[in-house]
Structure 1
Amino acid sequence: MIRARIIVEGKVQSAGYRDEVEDIALDLGITGFVRNMVEKDRVEIVCEADEKVIDEFLKNVKIKNEIIDVKKLTAKKTKPTGEFKAFRVIRGDKDSEIAERMDEAVKHLKGMKKGLYGVRDEVKGSREDIKGVREEIREFRTETKESFNSLDEKYHVVSQSLKSSDETQKMMKEELSEMRKEFSQSRGQIAKLVEHIGLLVKNHIEKEEKERKTHAEKS
């Protein structure tokens, strides 16, 4: 166990810093006290605990936020005395403490005001983001509509092509049917012609046979 005297410099008075130090010390099991110094930018901390705990305490009391701003921290370690039973805040006279609390309240209100400004900016930014999303959705809807229109046009062209193809096939079928009819008629005519030629040849042969017989009888 060791004893440490810590001088903290910065915006640490009328800012609620001593209460923050007290909470940290109680969480770590440190004994001692914290009090304002005559200098308006300084606070004194005297505490006792294991050295590792004191080192952790030194890290945690370097507070920086909208109200508290620790700029410098000086610690001097010595042997412990064991005089402390707990950790407490040593306050000044009643009037000065009331004045300090009022100053602290004003600083908190200022911090809240800054926070509200930040929230307002965030809300404004959110509105801009929503506006951007709305524009993106509008553009997407436009692109989708154009895509569907393009598909409809392509489908119409394909449909017309298929229709034209169907008509072409129908015409080809009709022409083939006509060709079959003509071929069938031509084949019938050829058959009749062949049959007629056959009769002529037969009649000619029979005639020659008769003439040959008649000539032989006369001889």
Structure 2
Amino acid sequence: MPQALRGSPSPSGPRTETIAQDLGLSGTVENQKPYDVRIVAEGEEEALHAFVEGLKVERGPIRVRDLLVRWSEATGEFPYFQILRGDWQEELVERFDVSAWLLYRSIEIGEENLALGRENVAIGRENLAIGKMMLDKQDQMLDKQETTISILRNIKEDTSEIGAIKEEVSAARYEARREREEIISTLKSGSLEEKYEELSREIR
């Protein structure tokens, strides 16, 4: 059920108006002498609690030292949330507060961007280190490839030598088989004894 919130914090009017509008609240905010601000807000209870939490600020030129809150039934008299301004001097002070808040916020954003920049630099350095490691690994892989190619070339040369040796062995085996076959043929034909007798006669 819609409820009303009435209090006297000390936030900036435009900032209060922005928070209220974001939460869908209606009501008013106006400066009270000497340093207070009076706020009347109506809306859903959950949104009003979020509104109260949003008013608790101690940052930059805004310092909410105390927050007095009273709850009551909503009247529905406010069509939207607005700032009730006083004389021109009061409005000038209000605008100065807004300018101070914007300046402080810009400083905060600058510091946040600076922090992000430092993080990006750190990430860039890490990426650079990773890139160097990858290049080193690629160099190692290239060295291994060159070594492998050299070994393959040596193996090819050794294979050629082995082929020549195999050819020589094959030729020797062929010659041995041929001589063996001649000996067997001679033994079978009996011509070996005739040759032996011929040699014996010649010796005598």
CA distance in 2, matches of 1:93, 1:169: 111
Q: CA deviation at 1:56?
A: 0.9
2:87 maps to amino acid: D
8 A Cα contact 2:58 2:64, kept in partner: no
Q: CA deviation at 1:144?
A: 0.7
CA distance in 2, matches of 1:89, 1:113: 26
Equivalence for 2:97: 103
2:27 maps to amino acid: G
Q: Deviations over 1:80-111 (max 9, x none)?
A: 55554543212232112213312331332232
Equivalence for 2:172: 178
TM-score normalised per structure 1: 0.68
Task: Name the SS for the 1:127 alignment partner.
Answer: helix
Q: What is the correspondence of 1:138-153 to structure 2 with a 5 Å cutoff?
A: 138-153=132-147
Equivalence for 1:56: 47
Correspondence 1:128 to 2:122? yes
2:94 maps to amino acid: E
Task: Name the SS for the 1:100 alignment partner.
Answer: helix
8 A Cα contact 2:20 2:51, kept in partner: no
Inter-CA distance 165–70: structure 2 relative to 1 (3 Å threshold): farther
CA distance in 1, matches of 2:191, 2:150: 61
RMSD across aligned positions (CA): 3.2
Q: Deviations over 1:17-38 (max 9, x none)?
A: 3223334445555443212233
4+ runs of 1 displaced by more than 6 Å? none
Quick one: percent identity of the two aligned structures? 18
Task: Name the SS for the 2:53 alignment partner.
Answer: coil
Task: Name the SS for the 2:47 alignment partner.
Answer: helix
Q: Deviations over 1:132-189 (max 9, x none)?
A: 3223212211211111211321332244234324422431232122221132033224
Segments of 5+ residues of structure 1 without an aligned counterpart are: 201-219
The structure having more radius of gyration, on CA atoms, is: 1
Task: Name the SS for the 1:62 alignment partner.
Answer: helix
Segments of 5+ residues of structure 2 without an aligned counterpart are: 195-204
2:53 maps to amino acid: K
CA distance in 2, matches of 1:184, 1:169: 22
